[in-house]
Amino acid sequence: SQTIHQWPATLVQPVGSPLSLECTVEGTSNPNLYWYRQAAGRGLQLLFYSIGIDQISSEVPQNLSASRPQDRQFILSSKKLLLSDSGFYLCAWSVTGSKYEQYFGPGTRLTVT
Partner 1 sequence: AQSVTQLGSHVSVSEGALVLLRCNYSSSVPPYLFWYVQYPNQGLQLLLKYTSAATLVKGINGFEAEFKKSETSFHLTKPSAHMSDAAEYFCAVSDRRTAGNKLTFGGGTRVLVKP
Residue 44 binds partner 1 (CB under 8 A): yes
Applying CB under 8 A, which of residues 43, 54, 61, 83 lies at the interface with partner 1?
Answer: 43
- Rounded CA-CA distance 46/48 in Å is 6
Cβ distance to partner 1 smaller for residue 40 or 83:
40
CA-to-CA distance for 100 and 11, rounded, in angstroms?
Answer: 30
The residue from 7, 106, 111, 113 that contacts partner 1 (CB under 8 A) is: 106
Among residues 88, 63, 64, which one has the least CA distance to residue 74? Answer: 64
State how far the Cα of 83 lies from the Cα of 113, in Å rounded to an integer.
Answer: 7
Under the criterion CB under 8 A, does residue 104 sit at the interface with partner 1?
Answer: yes
Could you list the residues that contact partner 1 (CB under 8 A)? 32, 34, 43-44, 46, 49-51, 57, 88, 90, 92, 94-96, 98-107, 109
